[in-house]
Amino acid sequence: MTSQDGGLNSQGGSPLPRGSALLNDPLLNKGTAFTEVERDTLGLRGLLPPRVFSIEEQVERVMGNFRRKDSALEKYIFLTTLQNRNETLFYRVVAENLEEMIPIIYTPTVGQACLEFGAIFRRPRGLYLSIRDKGHIAEMLSHWPIHDVRMIVVTDGERILGLGDLGALGMGIPIGKLSLYTACAGVHPRYTLPITLDVGTNNEALRSDPFYIGINQPRARGAVYDEFLEEFVTAVARHFPRALLQWEDFGNTNAFRLLNHYRSKLCSFNDDIQGTAAVALAGLIGSLRISGHRLQDQRILFLGAGEAGTGIADLFVAAARDEGLSVEEARARCWFVDSQGLVVKSRLATLAEHKVHYAHEHAPVATLAEAVEALRPTALIGVSGSAQAFTQPIVQRMAEFNTHPVVFALSNPTSKAECTAEQAYTWSKGSAIFASGSPFAPVVLNGRTYVPGQGNNVYIFPGIGLGALCADASEVTDSMFLKAARTLAGLVTSDDLAQGRVFPSLTRIREVSLAIATAVAEDAYVSGLARRSRPLQLKDDIQQRMFVPEYRSYV
């Protein structure tokens, strides 16, 4: 989003800093790209090496240094340091090398970065709001130097990827997600704010670590937790009234109820529930172009019945209803295996609320393999964090039941994937339609190259956020996610499908985000949720608001 929304170019009404203060502001710093005239005018002469470099030359130097790093985590640290020094250059580097950069700044590397977040901590970014600060949250929000925040990603660190309770170490997730909002959808970094709500942790290893950066107490529950969240949401609504809030990596205990309680009170959504649902549904729709089947003919078996799995099922039900099925008929096509086996009606007394709609009449089934045998699904979706749960016999049986079995191993990071791309293609003799949450390399099998699709939420949430912001939507609805899924599926080309890929190349991510943002904004206008007048050329208007990582002239 550009200066017409009070962004970087206007300095938010603040005068341009000079000298070392300018060099220390990552939103304004250009490093060695400051021109001779700028150096004289802004008091920079002598504070920089004498040679002036273009941004293209800077990118080349950064990429050379980046590629010399020995590990993904070292590359992550290198990029974080660059982001904290010069945001325009950081986003230029990312934008020009998306397929190489996204796995570093987000999944899978961000998982390792969160595990080691305290050890690699260099410079604070975002806000850490502790439950011990209860009663002072509004004051703490006022400490953030930017007062026109539009995009907040917040976590309480309870369910970080497939890694579990990482407490305050989970801050790597909001930081990474907001980097993707800017890189993939052009949301200006000035508008973004990562927040961690530190309510303690039940991770005993962290609590016994003398260098753990969070508060050393068990995770808060019940009324104390709810009062803290209410204070936080109320303060956000008052202090940042135009902000969209993304709930990220909350545990199942809180994720559904927080979303349901606050989504109509504060413009917000949960990416783990709704974003995952949209990208998975887009993959399913794309798979139909390979299999030749219809959406309403699918029988989906989920491994994992948490927020991601039931979110996908709920959105599938909405899509199937559009194609003529009743709610009951659509739900009957979705089956779940959780830690206790197949979710069936005989278990109703002990099921969490979000599973109840998907408890069907069936004899108890203990294992995934037995469920596959009993149900003969057309699609198998893993959202459990159970590494290697899709075994060779399971994938082989899926291929026997289906000409083109859908096998989506969506758990992150890579170490938690239910199977690899190579396993899925090899065990199915190349017939599987495969997608994963983390990236896998192309697979050559019997002379054919298969390019696995990455069912990454990065295809969805940046465009959702951009569209909601540009329309100034008062609410983010399920309808918007359904339109996002259909839009994403429509952008898959014949060449993509020929390679077995049911998602577009990540190199097209800004095109994807713009298309989704346009569909989301249009939905906001049609549904009466937009608080901004509709421009005549909606797509052009949104595109003009997207941040482009280019240096501006200061003189």
Point out the residues that are catalytic.
106, 177
Query: H-type helices in 156-306, by residue range?
Result: 172-185, 204-207, 222-239, 252-262, 276-291
Separation between Cα atoms, residue 57 and residue 44, nearest integer Å = 20
SS (H, E, C) 332-390: CCEEEEECCEECEHHHHHHCCHHHHHHCECCCCCCCHHHHHHHHCCCEEEECCCCCCCC
**What backbone torsions phi and psi does residue 511 show, to the nearest 5 degrees?**
-65, -45
Q: Which helix (H) or strand (E) holds 541?
A: helix 538-545
Measured over all CA atoms, what is the biggest interatomic distance in the chain, rounded to whole angstroms? 79
User: How far is it, in rounded angstroms, from Cα 56 to Cα 58?
Assistant: 5
Q: List, in sequence order, the alpha helices (H) in 35-108.
A: 36-41, 55-67, 72-85, 87-96, 98-105
* Angle in degrees, 0-180, between the axes of helices 98-105 and 87-96, rounded to the nearest 10: 120
Q: What number of residues does the chain have?
A: 555
Whose tokens are 């290893």? That residue is 205
Helix ranges restricted to H, 414-535:
421-427, 461-471, 478-490, 494-498, 509-526
Distance from C-alpha of 276 to C-alpha of 278, rounded to nearest angstrom: 6
- Residue 477: CB atoms within 10 A of its CB come to 19
